[in-house]
């Protein structure tokens, strides 16, 4: 037996359980994307392309080696001002930001209190930190408080949550979480990946909309901002600490300058009258999409709308059937989520006529009754 032969059995097992993932590959026809995270349609905005064109493709090194560029500093300053924090620190991906920051803040002898539906990057950051992890029931502040009481002997406690959950579209009760953190002397960490650009005044996020005092915010550049990368935001001393202790920052090539410049342009758009217009259009398309799906809106008015399907194989079949009708939506299956679903997401650029056609396709496939 060769060393890699175990992979054959592993893939066969995934295939038998209907859980094997494959890359979809480039499509050979034009379809309507109804599952993108490009909520404001900025990925192809000319202002972002123009800004990127003025800079080189690669940074050439990690920030601490020789790639601490002016374009990085300008973006960090712009993001901190936009989000209302003292400082910001760029990471190459949201995954890097979550894993590196959590592992830098807590370790052995500490306790992390993590929402049951947190993103995989948060879960991995918790595991790599070597802190003890207590998972509290999804958005359940009563369960969170019970676990805070039970962990009173910990050296340090960190409450970690997505602010908007990427597979369900619901929002964390951040004001209640922040109040509990103050009462029990815990740190708070909120991943704003699906909130920045969408919620709050001028798109400042769910933290801003809630008026919650959160110690650590993570804000992706790759969703509503239409770019790539992420930033951690908070007090200046937090950023200074992460520059020294976040291994995913220290040992990773810096964000490409072209991307940093494009992200700066994206923040300017989001924080403008044009951004307000795009958010109004996004809210309108989100309502129309939910009506077409026959699903009830989760807390808030975000663009994510899951259509729960009874099993993994049926979810994949439904995705393929919709693709044949001109709509691209991925089937999301365990272990990524507890229950299989089609994960729909609206965009400000989604045409109402396409939403109407989608509703007709769902009715033809008898998928709307899945939402009942």
Distance CA 350, CA 172 (A): 26
pTM: 0.93
CB 115 within 8 A of CB 136: yes
pLDDT for 299: 46
Nearest to 344 by CA among 112, 173, 166, 203: 166
CB 325 within 8 A of CB 309: no
Distance CA 41, CA 45 (A): 7
Distance CA 205, CA 219 (A): 9
- Structural tokens at position 313: 């194989």
DSSP codes, 290-308: HHHHT----SS--SEEEEE
Residue 339: what are its φ and ψ, rounded to 5°?
A: -130, 140
Nearest to 209 by CA among 171, 254, 264: 171
- Structural tokens at position 349: 């650029």
Residue 356: what are its φ and ψ, rounded to 5°?
A: -65, -40
Distance CA 112, CA 99 (A): 13
Q: From its phi and psi, is residue 366 left (phi > 0), alpha (psi between -120 and 50) or beta?
A: left
Q: Is 46-270 a CATH 3.40.640.10 domain? A: yes
CB 320 within 8 A of CB 311: no
Beta strands in the chain (DSSP E): 32-33, 87-91, 111-115, 132-136, 157-162, 187-191, 216-220, 230-234, 304-308, 327-328, 331-332, 341-345
> Digits of tens for pLDDT over the chain (372 positions)?
788 999 999 989 988 887 788 877 777 789 999 999 999 999 999 999 999 999 989 999 999 999 999 999 999 999 999 999 999 999 999 999 999 999 999 999 999 999 999 999 999 999 999 999 999 999 999 999 999 999 999 999 999 999 999 999 999 999 999 999 999 999 999 999 999 999 999 999 999 999 999 999 999 999 999 999 999 999 999 999 999 999 999 999 999 999 999 999 999 999 999 999 999 999 999 999 999 998 865 545 689 999 999 788 899 999 999 999 999 999 999 888 989 999 999 999 999 999 999 999 999 998 865 543
pLDDT for 371: 47
CB 68 within 8 A of CB 76: no
DSSP codes, 54-115: TS-S---SBTTTT---HHHHHHHHHHHHHHT-SEEEEESSHHHHHHHHHHHH--TT-EEEEE
pLDDT for 297: 57
pLDDT for 244: 98
What angle separates helix 120-129 from helix 94-105, to the nearest 10 degrees?
A: 30
The class (CATH top level) of 19-39+273-371 is: alpha beta
- Structural tokens at position 101: 């920051």
- Structural tokens at position 369: 């009754």
pLDDT for 224: 98
What residue spans define the domains of the chain?
Answer: 19-39+273-371, 46-270
Q: Using the structure block, give the residue that is written with the tokens 């923040």.
A: 267
């Amino acid at each position: 037996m060769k060393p890699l032969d175990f992979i054959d059995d592993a893939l066969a097992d995934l295939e038998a359980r209907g859980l094997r993932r494959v890359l979809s590959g480039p499509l050979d026809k034009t379809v309507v994307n109804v599952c993108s995270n490009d909520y404001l349609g900025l990925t192809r905005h000319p202002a972002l392309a123009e800004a990127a064109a003025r800079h080189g493709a690669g940074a050439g090194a990690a920030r601490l080696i020789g790639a601490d560029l002016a374009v990085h500093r300008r973006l960090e300053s712009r993001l901190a001002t936009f989000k209302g924090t003292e400082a910001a620190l760029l990471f190459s991906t949201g995954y890097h930001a979550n894993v590196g920051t959590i592992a830098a803040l807590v370790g052995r002898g500490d306790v992390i209190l993590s929402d049951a539906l947190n993103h995989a990057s948060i879960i991995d950051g918790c595991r790599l930190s070597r802190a003890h992890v207590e998972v509290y029931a999804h958005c359940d502040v009563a369960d969170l408080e019970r676990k805070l009481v039970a962990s009173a002997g910990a050296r340090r406690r960190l409450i970690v949550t997505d602010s908007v959950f990427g597979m369900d579209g619901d929002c964390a009760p951040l004001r209640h979480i922040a109040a509990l953190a103050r009462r029990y002397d815990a740190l708070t960490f909120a991943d704003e990946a699906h909130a920045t650009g969408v919620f709050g005044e001028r798109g400042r996020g769910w933290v801003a909309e809630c008026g919650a005092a959160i110690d650590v915010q993570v804000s992706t550049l790759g969703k509503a901002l239409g770019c790539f990368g992420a930033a951690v935001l908070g007090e200046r001393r937090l950023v200074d600490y992460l520059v020294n202790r976040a291994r995913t920052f220290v040992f990773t090539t810096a964000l490409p300058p072209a991307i940093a410049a494009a992200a700066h342009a994206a923040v300017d758009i989001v924080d403008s009258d044009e951004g307000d217009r795009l958010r109004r259009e996004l809210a309108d398309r989100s309502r129309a999409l939910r009506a077409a799906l026959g699903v009830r809106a989760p807390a808030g008015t975000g663009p994510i709308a899951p259509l729960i399907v009874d099993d993994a194989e049926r979810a994949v079949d439904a995705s393929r059937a919709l693709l044949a009708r001109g709509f691209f939506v991925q089937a999301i299956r365990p272990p990524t989520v507890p229950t299989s679903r089609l994960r729909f997401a609206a965009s400000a650029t989604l045409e109402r006529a396409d939403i109407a056609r989608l509703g007709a396709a769902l009715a033809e496939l008898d998928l709307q009754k899945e939402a009942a």
